[in-house]
Structure 1
Amino acid sequence: MKVLIVYGTVEGQTRKIARFMENVLQEDGHQVIIANAVEEPPEPDDFDAVFVGSSVHIQKYNTLIRDYVQENIDTLNGKPSVFFSVSMAMASSIEEEHNEVEQIAKDFLKKTQWNPKKVWHMAGALKYTQYNYFKKLIMRSIAKKEGGSVDTSQDHEYTDWPKVKEQVLSFINNIKEHK
């Protein structure tokens, strides 16, 4: 099966997740093309399945991802597709945080008129070592409120890798079964 993965990232965790998905799919025997939204990704026409992912920052998804979806809406709605949303809110134990991110995704999909077969919400990472002083303080304050790590001397990853692998393989196997 030929799979396209397009992602938008700010701090790199969405790229890392997309690369992980690429490896899972390749190990399962699929041909995968992966593209960062800033590098003019290919149109989805020639692919059997499309995965599109973006991180949430300031309650919004990457504008290049929004543009990509809108430019390719008919094709995306006509084939098996997944939207994977990456945010620190999904690492929170606060249910309202999860609900807020789910609503941001619903609003994004409604605005773009995209109807992916699946929407996956994934926890991101705190990249303290990459933040400037001000952002480090803000992210530490948020992490403290939500029960995350406040150790700013290192990065902290919250992505559930076994779950990502299970979702990807389950989705692809479901497509194969219905072909």
Structure 2
Amino acid sequence: MNILVVYGTTEGQTRKIARFMEDVLTNAGNKVTIADASDEPPAPKDYNAVLIGASIHAHNYQTSVKHYINRHIAELNKMPGAFFSVCLAVASDLQEEHREAQKITNDFLEHTGWKPLLTTQIAGALKYTQYDFFKRLIMKMISKKEGRTTDTSQDYEYTDWDAVKKFVNEFADKIAVT
């Protein structure tokens, strides 16, 4: 299969996840092209399937991902696709946080009109060392409220790589029979 992976990222965790997905798919014998949505990603028409991912920041995804989907919506809805949403709230123990992340994803997909075969929520990372003073302070307050670490001298990754691999393999299995 010839698969396109397009992603949007702010601090780099979604890029890291997309690269991991690329490795899983390539190791399974697929040809994979990966592209940042803020660059000039290729159109999906030359591929058998597409994975698109973005991260949630302030209840929104990267506008470059939204623009990519809007530009190619007709093609995307004619082919097997999957959407992966990256959000720190997925690492929360609070079900309310999970529901809110899922609602943001559902609203985004409804607004764009894209109907991917699969979607998933993936826990992101707390990138204290990359935040400006204000964002670091806000993230520290959120972490404290959740009972998580508030040591801002380092970053913390919450991505469940086994779950990501399971999702990618599930998608690969579905497109193999499509």
What's the TM-score bracket when you normalise by the shorter of the two chains?
over 0.9
Corresponding residue for residue 39 of structure 1: 39
Is 1:53–1:84's contact at 8 Å kept on the other side of the alignment?
A: yes
CA-to-partner distance for each residue in 1:11-66, whole Å, 9 max, x for gaps? 10000000000011111111000000111100000111100000001100111100
Q: Does 1:166 align with 2:174?
A: no
SS at match of 1:52: strand
TM-score (norm 1): 0.96
Q: Which runs of 5+ in 2 are unaligned?
A: none
Is 1:93–1:147's contact at 8 Å kept on the other side of the alignment?
A: no
Distance 1:12 1:116 in 2: 23
CA-to-partner distance for each residue in 1:44-96, whole Å, 9 max, x for gaps? 00111100000001100111100100111111111110010000110111111
Amino acid at match of 2:50: V
SS at match of 2:56: strand
SS at match of 1:121: strand
Corresponding residue for residue 58 of structure 1: 58
Corresponding residue for residue 117 of structure 2: 117
Corresponding residue for residue 10 of structure 2: 10
| Cα shift at 1:145 | 1.3
Q: Which runs of 5+ in 1 are unaligned?
A: none
Distance 1:2 1:35 in 2: 14
Give the percent of matched residue pairs that are identical in Structure 1 and Structure 2: 53
Corresponding residue for residue 48 of structure 2: 48
| Cα shift at 1:3 | 0.5
Equivalences for 1:74-85 in 2 at 5 Å? Answer: 74-85=74-85
SS at match of 2:79: coil
Corresponding residue for residue 129 of structure 1: 129
Amino acid at match of 2:150: V
Amino acid at match of 1:87: C
SS at match of 1:164: helix
Corresponding residue for residue 104 of structure 1: 104
Is 1:124–1:159's contact at 8 Å kept on the other side of the alignment?
A: yes
TM-score (norm 2): 0.97
Worse overlay, 32-41 or 167-176: 167-176
Amino acid at match of 1:4: L
Distance 1:85 1:48 in 2: 21
Count residues in correspondence.
178
Corresponding residue for residue 143 of structure 1: 143
Corresponding residue for residue 154 of structure 1: 154
Distance 2:166 2:83 in 1: 15
